[in-house]
């Protein structure tokens, strides 16, 4: 099993739709997780941290399912500006290597 | 706001040549990372510094790659005898503190090996 796995998409959704992405991870010792957003030809930027209690920020909700070893990102009321690649990031149980998933591409359309 | 800066933005080189990239992290950040990203993939970890000490290096990093952070501030990544497979975006990131949270990335150096 890969350390971090994501469906590469693309997910094509109409504006206003709700969309959810999952990310599975293999290291059960990992404690905290992150979602980064990467626009085309730009650097990744932190979107949200994901802790055991989950996290909500406006239209974005991130949740952790430790038993099944996956994290999710839910985007409500999608905007055109949400079009980007969403990268799941998993720290190791020890060490410093943050492992990025391949990313899920989202395209929000009119 | 002086974020992470990388130089050059683009580098085109011929196979077999050596190249060196520079990264200037956010000034108070003690942790510095190098990642490599190819089209359709997520960033792939290369190496990590805490201050001037290189604490972790990817097993995927061949001996043609070397990184330094001599005074715990800027860092350089050198690739010797470049190969076409080295073509990628090389991203530098920095962070502060003891956790792995919130990496601030530079805009990257796009390397093309002809």
pLDDT tens digits, one per residue of B78-96: 999 999 999 999 999 999 8
Chunk chain A into consecutive blocks of 10 residues (it has 110) and report each block's average pLDDT, rounded to whole numbers: 87 97 87 91 92 89 92 97 95 74 95
Q: How far apart are the two ends of chain B, measured CA to CA in Å?
A: 36
B1 interfaces chain A, CB cutoff of 8 Å: no
B51 interfaces chain A, CB cutoff of 8 Å: no
Mutation target to probe the A interface, by most A beta carbons within 10 A, among B43, B69, B101, B107 is B43
What is the DSSP-derived secondary structure letter of residue B105? Answer: E
d(CA B110, CA A46) in angstroms, rounded, equals 21
Phi-psi region of A41 (alpha: psi -120 to 50; beta: other; left: phi over 0): left
CB atoms within 10 A of CB B50: 15
- Please report residues of A whose CB lies closer than 8 A to that of B105: 43-45
What's the confidence (pLDDT) of residue B49? 93
CB atoms within 10 A of CB A72: 17
The whole-angstrom distance between B23's CA and the closest CA on chain A is 14
Tokens of B87: 């073509």
């Amino acid at each position: 099993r890969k350390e971090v796995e994501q469906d590469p998409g693309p997910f094509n959704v109409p504006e206003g739709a709700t969309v959810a992405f999952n990310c599975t991870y293999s290291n059960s010792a990992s404690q905290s997780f992150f979602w980064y957003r990467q626009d085309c030809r730009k650097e990744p930027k932190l979107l949200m941290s994901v802790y055991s209690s989950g996290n909500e920020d406006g239209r974005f909700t991130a949740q952790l399912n430790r038993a099944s070893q996956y994290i999710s990102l839910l985007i409500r009321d999608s905007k055109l500006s949400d079009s980007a690649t969403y990268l799941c990031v998993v720290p190791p149980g020890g060490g410093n290597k943050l492992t990025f998933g391949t990313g899920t591409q989202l395209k929000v359309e009119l | 706001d002086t974020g992470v800066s990388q130089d050059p933005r683009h580098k085109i080189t011929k196979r077999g040549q050596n190249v060196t990239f520079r990264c200037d992290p956010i000034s108070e950040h003690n942790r510095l990372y190098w990642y490599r990203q190819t089209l359709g993939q997520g960033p792939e970890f290369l190496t990590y510094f805490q201050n001037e000490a290189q604490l972790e290096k990817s097993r995927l990093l061949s001996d043609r790659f070397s990184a330094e952070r001599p005074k715990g501030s800027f860092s350089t990544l050198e690739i010797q005898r470049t190969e076409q497979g080295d073509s990628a975006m090389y991203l530098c990131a920095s962070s502060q503190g003891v956790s792995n949270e919130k990496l601030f990335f530079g805009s990257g150096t796009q390397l093309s090996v002809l």
